[in-house]
Amino acid sequence: MRYATVRAPGGGSLAVFFDKGAWRSLEDRSGRLYPHLRAFLADGGSRRAGRAVIEEHEAAFLAPVPRPPKIVAVGLNYADHAEEQGKSPPESPMLFSKASNIVVGPDDIVKIPPTAGQIDFECELGVIVGKPGFEIPAAKWAEHVFGFTIVNDVTSREAQTADRQFYRGKSFDTFCPTGPVVVTPDEFDWNGKGLGLRLNGTAMQKGSTSRMCFGPPALIEWISAIHPLEPGDLIATGTPAGVLMFRPEKRFLQPGDETEAWIEGIGELRNRFEKR
């Protein structure tokens, strides 16, 4: 099943699911529409057959979960990305967080801040939590995952390097494009999916989720052992090789650049970069 948050025909936004060739509204018991998927998930996330609101080709996608309760990200989670920086993959997941109010959607502008440079991209498989849980065993991961989306974990390498920790470099406003849709685990086998990123049409990253050091089951167990997971939480599961930081040309993102992050079975997430 595919879900999304789309621009509503009359303004505002709507949580929808795809069925029989159209995007249909998700409705609560009294027929009220959910404005986005976080509201739907917070209410238990049980699907209600709604009206066909938008034709397949007319949907304007927004960030599926506009403001996740938490964004937990995983560093060095692909063997090839660890290799390109001369590091060995960690023995346990290496976590950091991004601010949760910086999420943007497909086609939104990512703003290059005045105070930090060396802006880089990271195409990642995003996991969106559905059912809440604490100390979830890996074997039960799928019960707690609502679905998968694309995340571009935009980063200021300048800030990341200067601070020797990740929060500032990863948390500038708009540094978390997500979308366009969420695909549920029954329709998306996370293992062995191609993923990558194009910069102004040129392939920069290309990898496979089968090269993840810790997949979603292990990550759900590891992260939920720290704190409870809540509906709408976003886990950015790490990026494959090919980021700008480790390329010989050391060219970083500039105003006017366009990134296109893609994951096989989910789609493409396009964003343009401009000065804040």
| 90 DSSP 8-state letter | P
Structure tokens at 276: 């804040």
Which residues from 131-150 bind Zn ion, rule CB under 5 A?
none
Q: Which residue is nearest to Zn ion (CB)?
A: 153
Please select the residue that binds Zn ion; options are 16, 62, 100, 122, rule is CB under 5 A: 122
Strand partners, 19: 22
Closer to Zn ion by CB, 15 or 94: give it.
94
Closer to Zn ion by CB, 6 or 125: give it.
125
Closer to Zn ion by CB, 40 or 96: give it.
96
What's the CA gap between 261 and 263, in Å, rounded?
Answer: 7
What's the CA gap between 130 and 145, in Å, rounded?
Answer: 5
Quote the least distance from Cβ 166 to Zn ion, whole Å. Answer: 9
Quote the least distance from Cβ 262 to Zn ion, whole Å. Answer: 16
What's the CA gap between 119 and 104, in Å, rounded?
Answer: 16
| 219-245 core/surface letters (b: 16 or more CB in 10 A; e: else) | bbbbbbeeeebbbbbbbbbbbbbbbbb
| 172 DSSP 8-state letter | S
Query: Residue 125, SS3?
Result: strand
Which residues from 63-92 bind Zn ion, rule CB under 5 A?
none
What's the CA gap between 269 and 273, in Å, rounded?
Answer: 13
Beta strands 13-19; 176-183: pairing state: unpaired
Quote the least distance from Cβ 236 to Zn ion, whole Å. Answer: 6
The region of 24-32, 115-123, 227-235, 260-268 touching Zn ion under the rule CB under 5 A is 115-123
Quote the least distance from Cβ 73 to Zn ion, whole Å. Answer: 5
120 touches Zn ion by CB under 5 A: no
CA distance readout (Å), 126 to 55, 74, 80, 122, 266: 26, 11, 19, 12, 11
Please select the residue that binds Zn ion; options are 120, 153, 233, 257, rule is CB under 5 A: 153
User: Could you tell me how many residues of this chain bind Zn ion (CB under 5 A)?
Assistant: 3
Closer to Zn ion by CB, 153 or 230: give it.
153
Closer to Zn ion by CB, 108 or 122: give it.
122
Nearest CA among 108, 241, 111 for reference residue 175: 111
Closer to Zn ion by CB, 59 or 72: give it.
72
Structure tokens at 25: 């509204």
Q: Site mask, Zn ion, residues 227-246, x = CB under 5 A?
A: ------------x-------
What's the CA gap between 56 and 117, in Å, rounded?
Answer: 39
Closer to Zn ion by CB, 46 or 92: give it.
92
Quote the least distance from Cβ 167 to Zn ion, whole Å. Answer: 13
The letter for the amino acid at 232 is G
Quote the least distance from Cβ 24 to Zn ion, whole Å. Answer: 33
The region of 26-34, 53-61, 114-122, 209-217 touching Zn ion under the rule CB under 5 A is 114-122
Residues that bind Zn ion (CB under 5 A): 122, 153, 239
